[in-house]
Amino acid sequence: MKQLSALVILLFTAIALTYASVIPGFLLQDEDSYDIVTDQSTKLITNCGNASDLLKIDYINLNPDPPLRGTDLEIEFKGFLKETVPEGTKVQIMVKFGVVRLLQKEFDFCDKIQEIGEKCPIPKGELKFKKVVSLPREIPPGKYTVHAEIFTPAKKRVTCLLGQTVFPRSPLY
């Protein structure tokens, strides 16, 4: 099964953590909070879309939850895609460290999924997967927020996801 939301989550993780490894850990952190996707899902990823989105998310689970620096993060996802996602689909992404915007960019979704061995078009139907991502130890402590929306060339929103996590300061020994 094609991994549409896996891509979004992996993009969140990869982009945020790539930037996180070079950002100092002393910046001011804000206190925003968000709703959870469903009762079964992690509280760290929020569906910021609505019923007209092409992707209905049943759940997104993370293990460990919350993620830990220097460990593998397992992402488990289940959802349903109402329509095929065609070539030319775009991802709009914003990554923040506390209140500081690290990145705001638009990517070609189909180009990005080729990097993990997938390709467009992504057929409609059930989406279910489990994926592991390695998190670097060098992630500075702080609050990370990633907002991503995916739009088809016809401007139909596939999904809107908001990911948020805090990497705490390590205790002093």
Question: What's the pLDDT tens digit per position in 114-131?
Answer: 766 678 898 999 988 788
In a domain, 8, yes or no: yes
Please state, rounded to an integer, the average pLDDT across all residues of the chain. Answer: 78
Share of the chain above pLDDT 70, in %: 73
Instruction: Tell me if 118 sits within 8 A of 146, measured CB to CB.
Output: no
Evaluated on CA atoms 30, 35, 41, 46, the torsion sign reads: negative
CATH number at residue 15: 2.70.220.10
Instruction: Tell me if 104 sits within 8 A of 19, measured CB to CB.
Output: no
pTM: 0.76
Overall domain count for the chain: 1
Residue 45's domain spans which residues?
Answer: 4-167
In a domain, 37, yes or no: yes
Mean pLDDT confidence for 100-125: 85
In a domain, 53, yes or no: yes
In a domain, 172, yes or no: no
Mean pLDDT confidence for 122-149: 87
Residue for token pair 């992690």: 42
Burial class of 124 by CB neighbour count within 10 A (0 to 12, 13 to 18, 19+):
middle
